[in-house]
Amino acid sequence: MKVAVVGATGLVGSKMLQVLAERNFPVTELIPVASEKSVGKEVEFKGKKYKVVSMADAIALKPAVAIFSAGGSTSLEWAPKFAEAGIRVVDNSSAWRMDATKKLVVPEVNAAVLTKDDYIIANPNCSTIQMVVALQPLHKKYIIKRVIVSTYQSVTGTGKKAVDQLFGERAKAENGSVAEYPMAYKYPIDLNVIPQIDVFLENGYTKEEMKMVNETKKIMQDEAIKVTATTVRIPVIGGHSESVNIEFENEFDIEEIKVLLANAPGIIVQNDDAAQIYPMPLWAHDKDEVFVGRLRRDETQPKTLNMWIVSDNLRKGAATNAVQIAEYLVNTGLL
């Protein structure tokens, strides 16, 4: 099977190559694709070197599937051209997520919505993905009325420039380094917390916060779920963390919640107060699962649960989820 990875030289694109190899996706020929300035460069996949090609050349090579991680404007321009050529596209940008004609998919939650007619499939926002994986088994059992989420998001969610800023600031603080580093953020990120991810909208929320609101409803196919979010960038690498408060329509039992989550696909429960075991980016780094812990009843109102969710945003929050969508297409004969 010919597989194209669009944006193969970027942070997420590199992770996609790693995930494709680790999960033994049936790649017979890899087609790495990137911007014109990267054409001719080499990437490594399963011990072999592959030359980066242009978008037009990739289409001419007729891959069965193209996994995109090259930004919204690139996806808007090129995903339809790949689709017109009969190539299925799994797109990691925000370009198609809220398009009513496109499916927004987290395989553990709603893969069954995919059909033979879906040639452009949207991969959700990283912070949304990990949250809905944990919400879905609880919604099926108790029916979620309202979700309040505050995120603690890794700098890797912004990209290489942000990682370079963090380590540049750290080097300057630790050893007086005078080496220049880029500024991905308006403010320092090391030893700081920035309560803004993406641009502010007219309602006072950021674009990232509204992505969590709107994408959750679409993925879980329930417009009645109320979601409010505060998204925050922290000086961490390895994954995003989320504090989530969930109000249910029906009463629940904490022990039953633990069992439901432990038995749900893609979730690992780390919830041992006595041993001080709970999810952390340090443990989630380079893992595919969503880690859930700090499970406790909200004592201020009935039928309400608090929990803590952590996942590697470059893997389950981006690359792994996209590859899992492609795996579903293979396993159901759609690819």
Kindly list the catalytic residues. 126, 240
| Cα distance between residue 64 and residue 66, in whole Å | 7
| Cα distance between residue 162 and residue 139, in whole Å | 35
Report DSSP letters for 38-91, one per residue: GTT-EEEETTEEEE-B-HHHHHHT--SEEEE-S-HHHHHHHHHHHHHTT-EEEE
| Cα distance between residue 68 and residue 71, in whole Å | 8
> Which phi and psi (to 5°) does residue 113 adopt?
-75, -15
Sheet bearing 88-91, strands edge to edge: 29-33, 2-6, 65-68, 88-91, 120-122, 103-104
The alpha-helical segments, DSSP class H, found in the chain are 11-22, 55-60, 72-84, 107-110, 126-142, 160-175, 207-219, 254-263, 281-284, 320-331
Beta bridge partners of 144: 248
Q: Which two tokens stand for residue 323?
A: 């590859």
Is 121 within 8 Å of 105 (Cβ atoms)?
Answer: yes
Q: Which two tokens stand for residue 139?
A: 């919604």
Sign of dihedral through CA atoms 236, 238, 239, 241?
Answer: negative
**What is the β-pairing status of strands 144-152 and 267-269?**
unpaired
The alpha-helical segments, DSSP class H, found in 193-253 are 207-219
| Cα distance between residue 335 and residue 333, in whole Å | 5
